[in-house]
Structure formats: structure tokens, C-alpha cells
């Protein structure tokens, strides 16, 4: 299934756009469909997870 795009409607009021409910449904579908990159699970094998401190993230500042 393709990624669902939210219709924002006409600016500035959003007239003609998706409702909150249909927007939420599209977002849920985008993140629960396993064929989309945004929802793919990260493997647990060596090299699949970012190490603490990699790229300066999560490490202690000195």
C-alpha cells in the first residue's frame, strides 16, 4: 500500500481538507504498514543499533 497523504485543504482555514479522524487513520496506516520505511523495525544484530555516544549523541558533555 502506498503512503497515505493528508489533505490539508485550502489555506488559511483548511476548508475541504481531511477531518481529524481521517488524518489520524492515515497517520496510523503510515506507521503500522511494515512496507514503509517509517514503520520498519530495527534489527537486533550487531551493527543495526546505534551505540550510545555515536555521532556525539547520548554521551556525557565535558
Cell numbers standing for residue 59 = 554521551
Residue 7 lies in a domain: yes
> CA 51, 55, 57: angle at the middle one, nearest 5?
70
Residue 9 lies in a domain: yes
pLDDT digits (tens, 9 = 90+) for 4-60: 899 999 999 889 999 999 999 998 888 787 666 655 556 666 666 666 666 666 656
Domain of residue 2: give its range.
Answer: 1-43
Q: Which of 27, 21, 20 has its CA nearest to residue 4?
A: 27
Residue 56 lies in a domain: no
> Which pTM does this prediction carry?
0.55
Q: pLDDT value at position 47?
A: 63
Amino acid at each position: 500500500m502506498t503512503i497515505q497523504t493528508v489533505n490539508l485543504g485550502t489555506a488559511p482555514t483548511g476548508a475541504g481538507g481531511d477531518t481529524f479522524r481521517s488524518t489520524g487513520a492515515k497517520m496510523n496506516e503510515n506507521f503500522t504498514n511494515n512496507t514503509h520505511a517509517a514503520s520498519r523495525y530495527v534489527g537486533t544484530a550487531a551493527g543495526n543499533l546505534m551505540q550510545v555516544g555515536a555521532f556525539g549523541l547520548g554521551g556525557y558533555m565535558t
